[in-house]
């Protein structure tokens, strides 16, 4: 399972959702949805825009985590 780390990175850099949205030239609602749901599917172009706005490689914005449902078996 893939998890987005955009919220954490933005907060480490002192960026609000609004400021990140402006930097990435994206709609505020899109950034808000990503902040509130780190498991949300996003396009590679969106990931790239956010990485550029945060000035880090896109690979640093994602992590692989185990699916909680797998632990129930």
State how far the alpha carbon of 33 is from the alpha carbons of 9, 26, 29, 45, in Å. 16, 12, 6, 16
| All residues at 6 or more sequence positions from 40 whose CB lies less than 8 Å from its CB, including other chains | 4, 33, 34
Q: Could you read off the pLDDT of 38-49 as tens digits, one per residue?
A: 999 999 999 999
- Residue 4, H or E segment: strand 2-4
Residue with tokens 């956010």: 50
- 2-66 CATH pick, 3.40.50.720, 3.40.50.80, 1.10.260.40, 1.10.167.10: 1.10.260.40
What does the pLDDT look like over 11-41, one tens digit per residue? 999 999 999 999 999 999 999 999 999 999 9
Whole-angstrom Cα distance, residue 17 to residue 65?
A: 24
Domain range annotation of the chain: 2-66
pTM, entire model: 0.87
């Amino acid at each position: 399972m893939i998890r987005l780390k955009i919220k954490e990175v933005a907060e480490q850099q002192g960026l609000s959702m609004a400021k990140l949205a402006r930097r990435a030239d994206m709609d505020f609602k899109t950034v808000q949805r990503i902040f509130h749901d780190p498991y949300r599917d996003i396009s590679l172009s969106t990931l790239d825009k956010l990485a550029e706005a945060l000035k880090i490689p896109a690979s640093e914005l994602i992590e692989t985590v185990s699916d909680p449902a797998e632990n129930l078996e």
